[in-house]
Amino acid sequence: MLHRFHLNLYKPDENHGSFGRDNLANERTFLAWIRTAMSFASVGIAVTHFFRYQSGQNMINFLLALTSDDPATRRAIEQLQVPVAANKRETAGLQRYLDLMVQHDKRVTKLATVLGSWFVATSFAVVVVGGYRYGVSFKSLRSKRFPVSRWSIMLCLLVSLALVATSLGLVLVTEL
């Protein structure tokens, strides 16, 4: 059974003119689409994890700074006008500041998760487009025609630009 399947997958074909060379180039192009899809998926996972790590790290750094005895750190906290709790009345101000910080971090984490999901979804779309292009190119090469790709390249370009612009926006939001 497996032997029969193997023969159907690797059925030899006649090589007329440049069909063999063109078909190998078509296969390399398909593999480039796969590499592009893997890159999109990797970036999506990295974006999600980076911003989760960063939001948690911000809180840890803030809490460490509050408990620091270093005079330079104390002056920096005073310059930021962070309410450090010296008595019970000031504790409410500190709690409010921490709550705002947590809300901001949750918002950034949610945005990063959505952005990362879009990168991964784009990777699936790139695989589908690459597979479609491979099939169309293979059929065209068999009929001695050359398929020109316009929409697939433009679509990938526009989606990539949109994702990069959104990523830049997310980075700017986290820095503010």
Q: What is the DSSP string of 21-62?
A: HHHHHHHHHHHHHHHHHHHHHHHHHHHHHHHHHHHHHHHHHH
Choose between 54 and 105: higher pLDDT: 105
Please report whether residue 19 resides in a domain.
no
Residue 11 lies in a domain: no
**Domain tally, the chain:** 1
The pLDDT confidence band at residue 119, using thresholds 50, 70 and 90, is very high
Of the listed ranges 17-31, 32-46, 99-113, 128-142, the one predicted with least confidence: 99-113
Kindly indicate the confidence band of residue 28, based on its pLDDT and cuts at 50, 70 and 90: very high
Helices within the chain (DSSP H only): 2-9, 19-66, 71-79, 88-142, 151-175
Could you give the CA distance from residue 77 to residue 13 in angstroms, rounded to a whole number?
73
* pLDDT of 61: 66
Q: Does 135 have pLDDT greater than 80?
A: yes
79 occurs within a structural domain:
yes
Give the pLDDT of residue 44: 92
Which among 25, 36, 13, 22 is positioned nearest to 163, based on CA atoms? 36
The per-residue pLDDT of the chain, averaged, comes to 78
Task: Tell me, yes or no, whether 20 lies in a domain.
Answer: no
- DSSP tag of 20: H
Mean pLDDT over 30-35 rounds to: 95
Is 58 within 8 Å of 104 (Cβ atoms)? no
Is 10 a domain residue?
A: no
Whether 15 is covered by a domain: the verdict is no
- Least confident piece of the model among 17-21, 49-53, 70-74: 70-74
pLDDT higher than 70, residue 5: no
Q: Is residue 138 part of a domain?
A: yes
For the record, the structure tokens of 142 come out as 């068999």
**Is residue 24 included in any domain, yes or no?**
no
Q: Two tokens at 148?
A: 């020109």
Enclosing domain of residue 80? 34-171
17: left (phi over 0), alpha (psi -120 to 50) or beta: left
Note the pLDDT tens digit of each residue in 55-97: 666 666 666 666 666 776 666 656 555 555 555 555 566 667 7
**How many residues in the chain?**
176
